[in-house]
Structure 1
């Protein structure tokens, strides 16, 4: 079998098994775990961890010579990812503290689920596996790799919408957010911790302040988020130029790469 055909066949099969397992078993595992541990936070982590198994198996079948932490880009410097993400999102927390109030009551289990757990597992599933593996280990370029994963990422957030207008807003915002997270992940030496912490901080500030009930947000909520995004991009570009590191994403790697990336 042709090497490329084998790669994409295993990749598609593995993700399909994961998707069906997640679709039909996630809630059941979550409810079962919640009854045992009496904690919705632990139940959320348990359900994510178990439904993730088909993806881990797929990775070992696809690239048996590499370890899982390398394939998921979790072997990169955590502090480096934390520092960039925290610095980059400072406009959000500063701006939100000026225009919004802190929540008077915080459900810490829900906060954990919507920040730590969701950021960690969603970045593994969407950025590291569904987008990252295609870009790092196939000839597909950035737009070719990012399209399906970002569309799916946007689709899974549509439950937050209350009407048609919000549905389109949420879809557009989460689609653009997924592409941005992928760009940050790729251009920061495939350090997934950067995307994880970025996802975490953005969700955290949104959750702690009375910004909005969903990701469609409002004027100030989105303004400071956009400023943070611009700041993160500028920091990333500055660091790459200062160290003379070539960009992973260029005109030559938008659709089909002419050479394998160094990850």
Structure 2
């Protein structure tokens, strides 16, 4: 078995194990943990942590000499990621303060689950593992690496509605959002904390203001989200050009990379 075939075989096998563990066991572990600790938020974290085990085993097999924090890109500066994400999402915060009201009653456990917990684990699973490992350690380019992960990311958000039109909107928004988060992750020097906090702040503002019941949103909700996307894109491009840092995603790395991959 060649090195490339072995890599893809182990990778696909590991993600398949994760997928079925998540599908069949997530709710079971969540309910079991909730009954023990009487905390829905803690149960959510425990369930995600358990389903991550196959991914960590997979990475340990593929890269036995590298630590998990490095492979999940969690060893990068947290403050730098936080600052970039917070600054970039200020248009959402300001716009929502102008056009929407803060919800009257906040369920803090639900807020934690829908913001910090979901952002942290989804970025690890989809951006760092499913998209990031392909892009960092194979010859696959940005779109080639991100296509399947982004399609799957969009698919797991379709529970939010039963309306066909809204489902199409949710799928398109989350698919494009996944591509954007992946781009931010790669262009911020593989700092997953940037994507995590960007995901967190976008979810947070959507949750604490009376914007919409699902991600399809409305005119002002999506308008200020778009402003934030433009803002963080501008900040990243401006910073890299100012510091003369080469861009990670170019025409030469869009589909198949022509340069050496990481080792």
TM-score, normalising length: structure 2: 0.99
Task: Indicate if the aligned counterparts of 1:184 and 1:195 stay in contact, CA closer than 8 A.
Answer: yes
Deviations 1:42-79 (A, max 9, x none): 00000000010000000010111111000000000000
Task: Indicate if the aligned counterparts of 1:136 and 1:260 stay in contact, CA closer than 8 A.
Answer: no
**1:31 — aligned with what?**
31
SS, match of residue 194 in structure 1: helix
Deviations 1:173-222 (A, max 9, x none): 00000000000000000000000000000000000000000000000000
Q: Give distance in 2, aligned partners of 1:262 and 1:181.
A: 21
SS, match of residue 249 in structure 2: coil
**2:105 — aligned with what?**
105
- Distance apart, 1:262 and its partner CA: 5.5
- Distance apart, 1:259 and its partner CA: 1.5
**2:13 — aligned with what?**
13
Q: Give distance in 2, aligned partners of 1:184 and 1:262.
A: 18
Q: 1:70-149 alignment to 2 at 5 Å?
A: 70-149=70-149
**2:260 — aligned with what?**
260
**Which consecutive unaligned segments of at least 5 residues does structure 1 have?**
none
**Which consecutive unaligned segments of at least 5 residues does structure 2 have?**
none
Q: Give distance in 2, aligned partners of 1:234 and 1:36.
A: 47
Q: Give distance in 1, aligned partners of 2:259 and 2:7.
A: 17
Runs of 4+ with deviation above 6 angstroms: none
**2:247 — aligned with what?**
247
**1:227 — aligned with what?**
227
Q: Give distance in 1, aligned partners of 2:153 and 2:260.
A: 26
Task: Indicate if the aligned counterparts of 1:248 and 1:261 stay in contact, CA closer than 8 A.
Answer: no
Q: Give distance in 1, aligned partners of 2:260 and 2:165.
A: 41
Deviations 1:73-111 (A, max 9, x none): 000000000000000000001000000000110000000
**2:159 — aligned with what?**
159
- Distance apart, 1:162 and its partner CA: 2.7
2:57 corresponds to 1:57: yes
Greater CA drift, 216-225 or 244-253: 244-253
**1:192 — aligned with what?**
192
**1:43 — aligned with what?**
43
Task: Indicate if the aligned counterparts of 1:17 and 1:54 stay in contact, CA closer than 8 A.
Answer: yes
TM-score, normalising length: structure 1: 0.99
- Distance apart, 1:260 and its partner CA: 2.7
- Distance apart, 1:231 and its partner CA: 0.4
- Distance apart, 1:25 and its partner CA: 0.3
